[in-house]
Structure 1
Amino acid sequence: MKNRSDASDQLVVLQKKLAGFGEYSLRKTYYPELQQSLEDLRESEAFLKNIVDNIPAMVFVKDAVELRYVAFNKAGEELLGYSREELLGKNDRDLFPEVQAAFFTGKDREVLARGDLLEIPEETIKTRSGDDRILRVRKIPLFDNEGKARYLLGIAEDITDRKRLEEQLLQSQKMEAIGQLAGGVAHDFNNILMVIMGYGNMLKMDLGPDSPHKEKLEQIIKASERAAQLTRSLLTFSRKQVMNPQSANLNDVVKQVRHFLERIIGEDIQLKSVLAPEELKVVVDSGQIEQVLVNLATNARDAMPKGGMLTLETGVMDVDESFVQANGYGKPGRYALISVTDTGTGMDEKTRIRIFEPFFTTKEVGRGTGLGMAIVYGIVKQHHGFVNVYSEPGIGTTFRIYIPVNSGEFVAGGESVTTKPPEGGSESILVAEDDASVRNLVLEVLTGYGYTVISAENGLDAVDKFRANRDSIRLILMDIIMPRMNGKEAYREIRRIDADVKILYTSGYTLDTIQSRDVLDEGAELVMKPIQPLELLRKVRELLDRQ
């Protein structure tokens, strides 16, 4: 065993050898190499940090023991709203709500226990500003040389905007599917309703005022009118319903419907109106906007079973590009705004995002169809506007409806005129209709008012009948879509015989179906089924008298 003196002697010898190199020789031989290695290391570290900071996703690292953040990239700072200094050394419970923090921590422990990559398709995280963002997250453990997990690496992609677009696309597809269904049944259903309503009204005119059957007949007519309204509602929220837009002051529309709403909501709910001082010039179908307000008021009433406050408020809002980007809908421009606010039970987030879905309802079976809010959505969209909803459980709900302001010259809608009884006539009318029940109804209505009717069951038959009676026929009443030859083709052939003959088209199909088939000439007169007998008579007389 060597003693301490031997060791001292060896140290002295080593020192002498090193001294032989000299300080200059050491610095010349080793220092530049060490300096270059340090510089390369610094450049490599900066390069890797630059890469991580420019990844368009949140990248973070936690220690495997306490799950505290030890690294965070720039995208993570921007997403969460915290600086790197505020994040490092913290764990999830220091930053996020308890429910979210518990979920994150549970997934972290699962990853470390598995020792493998874990993908989380969706998780919600609350930012510093209070917004909830939806993330798609991948987590994987990082091991040391001994195979022990030392850190946890996470990469999180913000998919909030993508989810919103997917929801909007899904909603649009649902609307389109329901629209296809509604459009497909509308034609046959409207023909059936026209027969029921037509004969019902004819019987009503024949009955005396004291007839014991009058009330029963009125119930039949009302039921058929409700069925017709249901068809229109189906077409409305699928945005296939024909509109009658006119210039209007939105304040006047709200005032007009207010009295009706008071009867709907009941005495235990207070109705308050706060109208903008200036005119809100819009181009709308006032009847449909009233339908929107009625549906929203009905929804508010059901949300306030113990009473409350319903507030209608109007105003003007300028929507800019930042609003559109933040919300994912709308177009920049100036909008008239209607807000409908209740103090009811409110909705949770899951209900709120589904509120405009067709047939979605939170009401008991038999109390709601699930169409009310879908109709609101469809009508507003048809007016080139948009609607959003804000709600908190236990506080209430606010619907905001945005309708584009009319920048052109404002022309107020005309005042209502008392409807006059229709006048009859003695002219000959060619009626071309492929549905026998509708054809017979129209024949009875017209002949009952003195007209001579020549019937045809399709377009080709109509051409033949007109050719045989060209000198007497003054008007053609023709369905647009018929077998063998449609209305447009038949009228083209008839005009070769007589270019001046007048025509009135009818159809039970939706307007977009008619337009997609290109079966209607531009500017042609069209009435949509089901049409009441008196309305049909007035339109026929109007065309016959037109010069």
Structure 2
Amino acid sequence: YEIGIEIDSETRYYHINLQPLKDVEPEDRQILMVVSDVTRQRNLEEQLRQSQKMEAVGKLAGGIAHDFNNLIAIIRGYSDIILSEMDKENEFYDSALEIDKAGERAANLVRQLLAFSRRQILQPRVLDVNQLIRDMEKMLNRLIRENVELWFRLDPNLGNIYADPGQIEQVVMNLVLNARDAMPKGGKISIATKNITAEDSVFIKNKFMTRADYVMIEVCDTGMGIKKELQPKIFDPFFTTKEKGEGTGLGLSTVFGIVKQSKGYILLESELGKGTSFKILFPKVDEVIAFARQSIRLNHNLRGSETVLVVEDEDSLRKMICKMLTTNGYKILEAANGTQALSVLEESKEKIDLLLTDVVMPGMSGKDLADLISVQRPGIAVLYMSGYTDDEIVHQGILFPDTHFIQKPFTPEALGKKIRETLKASNITKVKS
């Protein structure tokens, strides 16, 4: 049989085998006891079970993500168009708004499913974590209640990390929301940052971690704490200690997925009645932050007069995208696949400024189409879109640093901003060349 014994705040597991010895006198009866430390084996088995569970859910999430994202994009796109053309006094305005809100919730749910299964498409860059947290301060203060204090302790000499800024923001926000919910009567939340070197004591306690230099984000609360027996389950998808209807059980599993996909670690320390601490460690990088693209993101003028070739095999989605762009002043050419797009290109004598293409299509991929069109129309800007997961996008050879990409589902505003960003970056490249 097996027993668990707590030694120095760590549970060790031992397998005990009892065997009576034969060929001895009855009055000298003896028993052989063999005790084996099976802690490492138990931990490896648990890691394997967790990995298999995440892989199974990941395959399910990845399988439905493409179709769901296309449908959500259509729902959100048309609801945004309706709302933009409708007065708030209209009797149907609130109904259209509820459709849009439902679409947003559905999009968030798909994103969370992909995040914890580590299939979310990341667009990483070198980040100053301190600056990212400072930029979030106002938003975080709005999320917490008046009886909760928010403290910041940011290391002024903090290193940089290579990660998707939107995903790191989601990690911090989810942990702060989790801390807030753990303190219904109020308390303190602290967000701290710190450099961790390869010699740090954290590696002694957590031997599974690779010794290296990390940047740590720690979120602590003075809440009710987490029961020890529940701690191994808190990162499981759909596990929640909240009342029915108060949580999806995806908050911490989303954090776990993002951290793991970004090659980081997440450590939990919690004590009943005293509070909880989550430490997130991301590999430190030596690269400096590139500011070249910052100015592009500041341009929020969504209108344009350029000509855009839209290539999308989902008819309803293509029509919605064309309506979005036409409304904002763009001239539109459309095609349902790569072959049709090449025919449109051959028949059209006018300048085409941007190719907006789906990545995965029947017959010819968006990447292959873009390569062909770039030869015929040098200097054309290319923006890829997809509802598939990162595995498929990487397989198609899309996610290079200078590639412009937008994940489905998107809103008209998000698409408008991305198009302006792509066109401006293309113009900058032409000037430099």
1:483 to 362, 379, 383: 362
Aligned to 2:303: 423
1:336 aligns with 2:224: no
Partner SS for 1:187: helix
In the alignment, structure 1 residue 381 sits paired with structure 2 residue 238: no
- Does the alignment pair 1:349 with 2:225? no
- Report Cα offsets for 1:39-64 as digits up to 9, x if no partner: xxxxxxxxxxxxxxxxxxxxxxxxxx
**Aligned equivalents of 1:432 and 1:365: distance in 2?**
43
Instruction: Find the partner of 1:508 among 376, 387, 390.
Output: 387
Distance 2:289 2:381 in 1: 33
1:447-458 correspondence to structure 2 within 5 Å: 447-458=326-337
- Equivalents in 1 of 2:359, 2:124: separation in Å? 23
Q: Which residue of 1 aligns with 2:32?
A: 153
> CA offset at residue 541 of structure 1?
5.0
**Contact persistence 2:119–2:391 (CA under 8 A):** yes
Q: How do 1:33-432 and structure 2 match up within 5 A?
A: 120=1, 122-127=2-7, 129=8, 131-142=10-21, 145-148=24-27, 150-208=29-87, 210-320=89-199, 324=203, 327-410=206-289, 414=294, 419-425=299-305, 427=307, 429-432=308-311
Higher relative contact order, structure no. (Cα contacts within 8 Å, ≥ 6 residues apart): 2
**Which structure: larger Rg?**
1
CA distance in structure 1 between the partners assigned to 2:13 and 2:134 by the alignment? 42
SS of the residue corresponding to residue 15 of structure 2 reads strand
Contact 1:246/1:285, CA 8 A, preserved across alignment: yes
Q: How many Å separate the matches in 2 of 1:476 and 1:309? A: 50
What is the deviation of 1:377?
0.8
- Deviations 1:21-49, CA, capped at 9 Å, x for gaps: xxxxxxxxxxxxxxxxxxxxxxxxxxxxx
What is the identity, as a one-letter code, of the residue corresponding to 2:319? N
Work out which of the residue numbers 426, 436, 445 in structure 1 matches 2:315: 436
Q: What is the one-letter code of the residue matched to 2:318?
A: R
Check 1:493–1:163 CA distance in 2 against 1; reply closer, same or farther (3 A cut): same
Number of equivalenced pairs: 425
SS of structure 1 residue aligned to 2:146: coil
* Stretch deviating more after TM superposition (440-449 or 464-473): 464-473
Q: Which amino acid in structure 2 is aligned with residue 192 of structure 1?
A: L
Paired residue secondary structure (1:185): helix
Q: Secondary structure at the match of 2:29?
A: strand
Give the deviation of 1:264 after TM superposition: 3.0
Do 1:344 and 1:395's aligned partners in 2 also have CA atoms closer than 8 Å? yes
Letter of the aligned partner of 1:282 in structure 2?
I
1:371 Cα deviation from its structure 2 partner: 0.8
**Which residue identity lines up with residue 340 of structure 1 in the other structure?**
V
Cα 1:149–1:186 change in 2 (3 A) is farther
Per-residue CA distance 1:469-497 (angstroms, 9 max, x = gap): 36654543221211233323444554565
Cα offset, 1:352, TM superposition = 0.9
- Return the offset for 1:440: 0.8
Query: SS of the residue aligned with 2:184?
Result: coil
Q: Which amino acid aligns with 2:124?
A: P
- Offset at 1:388? 0.9
Distance 1:537 1:268 in 2: 40
Partner residue, 1:462:
341
Q: Which moved more, 1:365-374 or 1:454-463?
A: 454-463
Q: Separation in 2 of the partners of 1:341 and 1:156?
A: 39
Q: CA RMSD in A?
A: 3.1
Shift of 1:522: 8.3
Amino acid at match of 1:187: H
3-state DSSP class of the match of 2:121? Answer: coil
Give the Cα separation in 2 of the matches to 1:368 and 1:469. 52
- Kindly provide the amino acid, as one letter, of the partner of residue 383 in structure 2: L
Where do 5+ consecutive residues of structure 1 fail to align?
Answer: 1-119
Distance 1:521 1:337 in 2: 27
Code of the residue aligned with 1:275 in structure 2: it is L
Shift of 1:307: 3.0
Unaligned ranges ≥5, structure 2 = none
> Could you give the per-residue CA deviations for residues 401-424 of structure 1, whole angstroms, max 9, x where no partner exists?
112223233557958975533232
Greater shift, 285-294 or 365-374, is seen at 285-294
In the other structure, the counterpart of 1:85 is: none
Q: Give the C-alpha shift of residue 123 in structure 1.
A: 1.2
| Per-residue deviation, 1:236 | 1.6
CA contact (8 A) 1:138 1:155 kept: yes
SS at match of 1:405: strand
What's the counterpart of residue 91 of structure 1?
A: none
- CA–CA distance in structure 1, aligned partners of residues 128 and 306 of structure 2: 43
**Contact 1:486–1:519 under 8 Å retained in 2:** no
Deviation at 1:441, TM superposition (A): 0.9
Give the letter aligned to residue 370 of structure 1: G
AA in 2 matched with 1:526 = F
How much identity, in percent, do the aligned residues show?
38
